[in-house]
Amino acid sequence: MDAIVVYESIYGDTRAIAQAIGDGLGARAVLPVHLAQCLQGTADLLVVGGPTHVHGLATERSRHVAAHTATEDGRSHLVPGATQEPGLRTWLRDLSPAAAHHAATFDTRLDRSVWISGSAAHVIARRLRRIGIDVVASESFLVEDTEGPLKPGELERAHAWGAELARSLQPAEESSIAR
């Protein structure tokens, strides 16, 4: 299966989750969104994720505010390219329906009810469906605080989720041979 993971990350937690998903999936590429315009052709599975900001997808403003706050507080753990465009919102708006046969979405968010925290994964899924891509799964991975770190066990859970996505999308003949 040909899989690509595209992510947006500010502090690195979403990037770490994306990499763990990609490793579990055996993805062809794991790319930050600002480098994903170079994608050519159609993937079997496109996995897209980002941090939850203000109940949904990060905006250009929310990324810059987060980066400014981290810099002002003396933190240096910003991901390279964290404020580069395009962000996920723009990238999803410009994405071709021919980019993938199927998609899965993920986010990082606080360990609160979705009603309280929101979910970028749900917003991403809605946008992918709107352009005609079949979304097969969505998942949230939890952080301790708005700037991380990830809750214990989340990287392992992300790896396992990626492996499960790969198994669930195997063609019927491949899965019967593997048994």
Question: What pLDDT was estimated at residue 173?
Answer: 36
SS3 label, residue 95: coil
Strand partners, 140: 107
Residue spans of the domains in the chain: they are 3-178
Q: What torsion do the CA atoms of 115, 165, 63, 127 make, to the nearest 10 degrees?
A: -70
pLDDT tens-digit profile of 92-147?
999 999 999 999 999 999 988 888 888 999 999 999 999 999 999 999 999 998 88
Closest of 158, 170, 172, 169 to residue 15, by C-alpha: 158
CATH 3.40.50.360 is held by the domain 3-178: yes
| Cα–Cα distance measured from residue 19 to residue 156, given in angstroms and rounded to the nearest whole number | 11
Per-chain mean pLDDT for the chain: 87
Assign 64 to helix, strand or coil: helix
Q: Looking at residue 179, what is its pLDDT?
A: 45
Position 133: which residue type?
I
Model's pTM, two decimal places? 0.89
* Residue partners of 166: CB distance under 8 A and separation at least 6: 1, 3, 24, 25, 26
**In whole angstroms, what is the distance from residue 155 CA to residue 176 CA?**
29
